[in-house]
Amino acid sequence: MATYKIAVLPGDGIGQEVTPEAVRVLKAVGAGAGVGFEFEEALVGGAAIDATGGPLAPGTLELCRRSHAILFGAVGGPKWDDVAHERRPERGLLALRKELDLYANLRPAKCFPMLVDASPLKRSVVEGTDLMVIRELTGGLYFGEPRGVERFADGGARAVNTMAYTSREIERIARIGFEVARKRRKRLTSVDKANVLVVSQLWREVVTRVARDYPDVTLEHVLVDNCAMALVHRPTQFDTMVTENTFGDILSDEAAILAGSMGMLPSASLGGAVGLYEPVHGTAPDIAGKGIANPIAAILSAAMLLRYSLNMEKDADRVERAVLRVLEQGHRTADIAPRGTRAAGTTEMGDLIVRDVEAQY
Ligand code: NAD
């Protein structure tokens, strides 16, 4: 029997409530598919600061390196707002991304048919949306050198950031784009600003070259300004999208609006030997500890873990189908329930999805 080791890092706030539901779903998949999962928990974020003084507890990184995949919750909260910059909770996540070379961030944005009306956009626009934004995570404007502020004697100042990419950095993220598109509808949109930026001209050149290795995937290039417009105008035209760090940061948040609620959005960070899977949402201090958080983003992150780290495509489909069916049956957590209707709690929603997954084997 294949056995997979999963590092479980719930973090803080609702991270500690939704992550156990994702673990329960994976256990149900393991039992059904005849695969062994070994879960080992470790501290990260505020929980790690409280216990060890730093946002990445000793041993957490090592555990991640020894695992096949990482299931992450969320980190942060008002309790740690005054902690020194280099010890803040999110530093734990940033350190993991850096140490594990997680340079590709995958964020699907899917509009569930029964939640169409939760989106601020018109039904006719969002219905049928099912896209994936792949953002380069470790290069570009956020990391390029030189950077800094120069202060002048006359009181003026000049600030600099640098957008820089090597062909190697572009090629590796492009390959992830094509590989992911292959697992979806085989259409890849590369987003750049090649009419203005030389960095984008190199980006376009390299992506076009890589495309020769993926003749089964259709590639198109779109300028970022057009893309931003098309996302809220005709989002159904997109399947898989790949772009650099800053553009991806903005476009993935824009795409999130299409799905209706933060509680529904999973993500994956890939690149190095081990992938990290986490809901897009944060620790939600306003509802933490109440048992009402929506566990679906965490559960869909577990489905991505099955698909992208373990190649358990059919089992990932089962989990996604279970989520869809439970929603179809009318079950809702408070964040997606119509006003005045009864909402399911975190574990109740988890129970419903686990039972549906079990019934599919
Ligand atoms: P948030 O995502 O935690 O919450 C935004 C709003 O969405 C809140 O009203 C919250 O109740 C709601 N919400 C989020 N997830 C939900 C869920 N699963 N079910 C139901 N409702 C949900 O963002 P925020 O309030 O800006 O940040 C709170 C804390 O989380 C901050 O400390 C921030 O730094 C941290 N944060 C962490 C991550 C991460 O770990 N990757 C990401 C974003 C924010």
Residue 156 burial class via C-beta count within 10 angstroms: exposed 0-12, middle 13-18, buried 19 and up: exposed
pLDDT at 117: 82
pLDDT band at 132 (very low <50, low <70, confident <90, very high): very high
By most ligand atoms within 8 Å of CB, the mutation choice from 17, 21, 82, 283 for ligand 1 is 283
In this structure, what token pair is assigned to residue 21?
């539901």
Question: Residue 30 in contact with residue 64, Cβ under 8 Å?
Answer: no
pLDDT tens, position by position, 18-31: 999 999 999 999 99
Q: Is 335 a catalytic residue?
A: no
pLDDT at 282: 95
In one-letter notation, the amino acid at residue 264 is M
Question: For the chain, which domains are there?
Answer: 1-111+260-361 (3.40.718.10), 120-259 (3.40.718.10)
Q: Is 356 a catalytic residue?
A: no
Distance of CA 106 to the CA centre of its chain: 5
Q: Residue 34 C-alpha to ligand 1 middle, in angstroms?
A: 35
pLDDT at 156: 98
Of the residues 103, 110, 192, 193, only one is catalytic, namely 193
pLDDT band at 1 (very low <50, low <70, confident <90, very high): confident
Q: Residue 188 C-alpha to ligand 1 middle, in angstroms?
A: 30
pLDDT at 262: 83
Closest C-alpha to 35, from 331, 329, 315, 223: 315
pLDDT band at 260 (very low <50, low <70, confident <90, very high): confident
Q: Is 315 a catalytic residue?
A: no
Q: What is the dihedral of CA 342, 345, 350, 355, to 10 degrees?
A: -40
Half-sphere exposure of 274 (CA within 13 A, CB side): 23
Rounded Cα–Cα distance for residues 94 and 267 (Å): 15
Residue 270 has pLDDT above 90, yes or no: yes
pLDDT band at 240 (very low <50, low <70, confident <90, very high): very high
Half-sphere exposure of 262 (CA within 13 A, CB side): 10
pLDDT band at 129 (very low <50, low <70, confident <90, very high): very high
pLDDT at 256: 86
Residue whose Cα lies nearest atom 30 of ligand 1: it is 282
Q: Is 122 a catalytic residue?
A: no
Task: Give the residue-averaged pLDDT of 308-318.
Answer: 96
Q: Residue 177 C-alpha to ligand 1 middle, in angstroms?
A: 28
Of the residues 12, 192, 249, 356, only one is catalytic, namely 249
pLDDT band at 142 (very low <50, low <70, confident <90, very high): confident
Locus of tokens 């600099």: 160
Residue 14 has pLDDT above 80, yes or no: yes
Q: Is 314 a catalytic residue?
A: no
* pLDDT over 70 percentage in the chain: 100
**Who wins on pLDDT, 119 or 204?**
204
Give how far Cα 318 sits from Cα of 28, 235, 264, Å: 11, 25, 17
Rounded Cα–Cα distance for residues 56 and 87 (Å): 9
Q: State pTM to two decimals.
A: 0.93
Phi, psi of 294 (to 5 degrees): -80, 120
pLDDT tens, position by position, 202-231: 999 999 999 999 999 999 999 999 999 999
Residue 259 has pLDDT above 80, yes or no: no
Of the residues 98, 117, 225, 361, only one is catalytic, namely 225
Distance of CA 202 to the CA centre of its chain: 26
> What length does the chain have?
361
Task: Give the residue-averaged pLDDT of 74-100.
Answer: 93
pLDDT at 203: 98
Whether omega before 113 lies within 30 degrees of 0, making that bond cis, reads no
Task: Give the residue-averaged pLDDT of 105-130.
Answer: 90
Residue 83 has pLDDT above 80, yes or no: yes
* pLDDT over 90 percentage in the chain: 89
Other Cβ atoms within 10 Å of 204 Cβ, number? 16
Residue whose Cα lies nearest atom 22 of ligand 1: it is 263
Residue whose Cα lies nearest atom 6 of ligand 1: it is 284
DSSP letter string over 179-212?
HHHHHTTSEEEEEE-TTT-HHHHHHHHHHHHHHT
Rounded Cα–Cα distance for residues 334 and 132 (Å): 26
Task: Give the residue-averaged pLDDT of 267-273.
Answer: 95
In this structure, what token pair is assigned to residue 105?
């961030």
Q: Residue 233 C-alpha to ligand 1 middle, in angstroms?
A: 27
Rounded Cα–Cα distance for residues 305 and 360 (Å): 19
Q: Residue 280 C-alpha to ligand 1 middle, in angstroms?
A: 8
In one-letter notation, the amino acid at residue 293 is A
Q: Which residues line ligand 1 (CB under 6 A)?
A: 14, 18, 74-77, 90, 93, 262-263, 278, 281-287, 293-294, 297, 335
Residue whose Cα lies nearest atom 20 of ligand 1: it is 293
Rounded Cα–Cα distance for residues 248 and 242 (Å): 8
Task: Give the residue-averaged pLDDT of 62-84.
Answer: 96
pLDDT tens, position by position, 36-60: 999 999 999 999 999 999 999 989 9
The strand pair at 275-279 and 69-74 is best described as parallel
Closest C-alpha to 361, from 3, 28, 37, 26: 28
